[in-house]
Structure 1
Amino acid sequence: MSATAQIRRLTRYNAWANARLFQAVSELPEGAATAARPTLFGNMVHTLNHSFVVDRIWQAHLEGRPHGYTALNTKETPGFAELRQAQAEMDQWYVKYADTLPQDAHDEAVAFRFVDGGAGTMSRADILLHVVNHKTYHRGWVADMFFQAGVRPPATDLPVFLREAG
């Protein structure tokens, strides 16, 4: 399978896993998603918001425009329904971006500034891989919070996606 096909598959996997996780969060008992937890972002929804903010930052880098963020999360957390819709739209943006990115643009260097002001450069393909990997990492954090709430999290592993995608 080509690198282009792999990146396209991974953006679809990411969208699938996010949708699955958001659905499971929506089915938790009242207050479980925003209950204080011993984690960096304090609860499930604020952790999901961090992941969304980071997606927006990398989207801006890929588009060559400023993102306007000064931190990796927002002080105020949007409502769950609003965040869920925004994440679904963002996931579709990444799928479309991967689908339309020509093979010869995958290795193109993108210069950017990290939120802390430091300079960075990554290829477009590496940025897409990072976005997927970052989301996988933080879905794991949310899965741990499911266990803290006494609930089994949904399976969001790549092999499950591949089985379900056929």
Structure 2
Amino acid sequence: MHAHLQRMGRYNRWANQRLYDACAALPAGEFEKDRPAFFRSISGTLNHLLVTDRIWLDRILGRPFGGGKVDDRPFPRLDDLLPEREKLDREIIDAVAAMDDSTLAGITTYRMMTSPTPRQVPTALCWLHMFNHQTHHRGQVHDQMSQTATPPPSMDLIYFVYEEMA
């Protein structure tokens, strides 16, 4: 499991880099443009991922909740969001690497933002959820980008594996 989660951390960074590079090529205004999407724009969706990754990382590492809501947009501009994403992706990779098997086999206890009821979830599943959540919303950004003149990048896990094995 540990090796798999380490690979998922590297894949997460790789997919984010590809997606952010494509976003940098968007025509002016397309990154922030309102769209029929849950978080209303590419910017909104990528900010959601940054905010929720921080929430999950804090939960997994047992840090206090840093505040904020899942629809916050702390960095509406790509130029401001990109360095925060790169920093967080590095932190995720480092945090997974620092986990040992007993910690991964343990339980993460946290409270959901919408309920005071404590939740107890296997730590490895919390990591898997975080990576799956990233993939889900990157797919939404991929769809939003397909509505622009800038083609969205391929972010399939298998392409990352091919590159990593080369």
TM-score of the pair, normalised by structure 1: 0.93
Distance 1:76 1:103, change over 3 A: closer
Q: Is the 8 A contact 1:56 1:67 kept in 2?
A: no
Aligned position for 1:143: 142
Aligned-residue Cα RMSD (Å) equals: 1.4
How is 1:144-163 mapped onto 2 (pairs within 5 angstroms)?
144-163=143-162
Contact 2:32 2:76 in 1 (8 A): no
| Cross-structure match for 2:119 | 120
Tell me by how many angstroms 1:73 deviates.
2.1
Residue ranges of structure 1 left out of the alignment (5+ in a row):
none
Of the three residues 30, 44, 47, the one matched with 2:45 is 47
8 Å CA contact 2:44, 2:73 repeated in 1: no
> Do residues 95 (structure 1) and 101 (structure 2) align?
no
Q: Determine if contact 2:25/2:150 at 8 Å carries over to the other structure.
A: no
Name 2:23's counterpart in structure 1: 25
1:6-85 superposed matches below 5 A: 6-74=4-72, 77-85=75-83
Tell me which of 94, 102, 105 is aligned to 2:103.
Answer: 105
* Contact 1:147-1:153 within 8 A present in 2 as well: yes
Report the alpha carbon displacement of residue 120 of structure 1 after superposing the two structures with TM. Answer: 1.5
Distance 1:80 1:30 in 2: 11
Secondary structure at the counterpart of residue 146 of structure 2? helix
- Could you report, residue by residue, the CA deviation over 1:113-153 in whole angstroms, capped at 9, with x for unpaired residues? 11112432212211111111000000000000011124321
Aligned length: 164
CA distance in 1: counterparts of 2:69 and 2:128, whole angstroms: 21
Tell me how far apart the structure 2 counterparts of residues 126 and 38 of structure 1 sit (CA, whole Å): 31
Deviates more, 1:50-59 or 1:118-127: 118-127
Distance 1:150 1:42 in 2: 18
Deviates more, 1:106-115 or 1:144-153: 144-153
Q: What stretches of structure 1 move > 3 A for 4+ residues in a row?
A: 75-78
* TM-score between both structures, scaled by the size of structure 2: 0.93
Alpha carbons of structure 1 residues 62 and 35: separation in structure 2 relative to 1, 3 Å: same
5+ residue gaps, structure 2 = none
Q: CA deviation at 1:60?
A: 1.1
Find the aligned partners of 1:104 and 1:5 in 2 and give their Cα distance. Answer: 14
